[in-house]
Chain A
Amino acid sequence: MKILIRCYARFRDAFGEEQALELPEGATILDAVRTLAGTGPDAELLIDNVGNIRSYVMIMHHDVRVSPMEAESVSLSDGDMIILFPPVSGG
């Protein structure tokens, strides 16, 4: 299946604004983020040394925030989009 990942700010500089990824059926958000991390030289921005998504990464899926700890339990469907936000700094 194909999914899209859109990145903002620092993550966009590292991984591009939007990437289409081919993933196996049943793949989760964690699988998608690990795959995206492997496409650039700055994987450690997204993934720690044991393969978990860093806790500062904000994930949006179907207009809902998903915590990095939940990412392994959310399965994706063909055509889904995930949005990744780095730590915010507005105000």
Chain B
Amino acid sequence: MIAITRDPIDPYRFIESAKKPETGGIVTFIGTVRDDGIEALDLDVCEEVALSDLNKIAEQATADYHLNTVDIIHRVGRMQLTETILVIVVGSSHRQEGFAACSWILEQIKAFVPIWKKDIWKNGESWHFSKEEGN
């Protein structure tokens, strides 16, 4: 499943559904809200473009890393500390391709999928915003 949701994500259902006879390894990434002194995190999205991007990333990863299954579920909206932001589950015949694919998918999401984090503080809020040219 490739999805963007505003609801809490249960990663275990995707891990279970990735178990296939041809699969020898399931690699999972679970991104969570880290306590950087914030109270919560608010994620904004351009959903139409982001969903299209996630599908393209999944298709490319499946082809390049010979994956048997791939699930990417990104949550948006308000999240509290420790809540799950992102789940990536890849099923592959061999572990090397699974680890590499999971890492590649995450880096692609961080590079160009239109999703933005905003820190929510006790006395305000601020977008994550890198002004590095060409970032």
Query: Chain B interface: which size bin?
Result: 20 to 34
CA distance A10 to B85 in the complex (A): 20
Q: Specify the chain A residue showing the minimal Cβ separation from B85.
A: A91
Q: Does B36 contact A (CB under 8 A)?
A: no
| A54 sits at the interface (CB 8 A) | yes
Contact A90 B110 (CB under 8 A): yes
What CA separation (Å) do A53 and B128 show in the bound complex? 20
Q: Is A50 an interface residue (CB 8 A)?
A: no
A86 sits at the interface (CB 8 A): yes
Give B31's nearest chain A residue, CB to CB: A91
Q: Is the CB of B133 within 8 A of A56?
A: yes
Q: Is residue B9 within 8 Å, beta carbon to beta carbon, of the partner chain?
A: no
**Which of the segments B11-19, B63-71, B90-98, B113-121 contacts the partner chain?**
B113-121
Q: Using a CB-CB cutoff of 8 Å, which residues 37-52 of chain B contact chain A?
A: 43-46, 49-50
B90 to chain A, nearest CB (A): 15
The residue that B113 contacts in the complex, of A10, A54, A86, A88, with Cβ under 8 A, is A88
Q: Are B114 and A88 in contact (CB under 8 A)?
A: yes
- Chain A: minimal CB distance from B131 (Å): 7
Cross-chain contact B134 with A88 (CB below 8 angstroms): no
Residue B10 is within 8 A (CB to CB) of chain A in the complex: no
Q: Is B116 within 8 A of A56, CB to CB?
A: no
Q: Which residue of B lies closest to A60 (CB)?
A: B49
Q: A8-B46, A91-B86 are in contact. Are A58 and B134 (CB under 8 A)?
A: no
**What is the CA–CA distance of A10 and B46 in the complex, to the nearest angstrom?**
13
Give the top 7 A-B pairs by smallest Cβ distance, nearest first: A90-B115, A9-B116, A89-B128, A91-B110, A10-B127, A91-B109, A89-B117
Chain A residues packing against B (C-beta within 8 Å): 8-10, 13, 54-56, 58, 60, 63, 83, 85-91
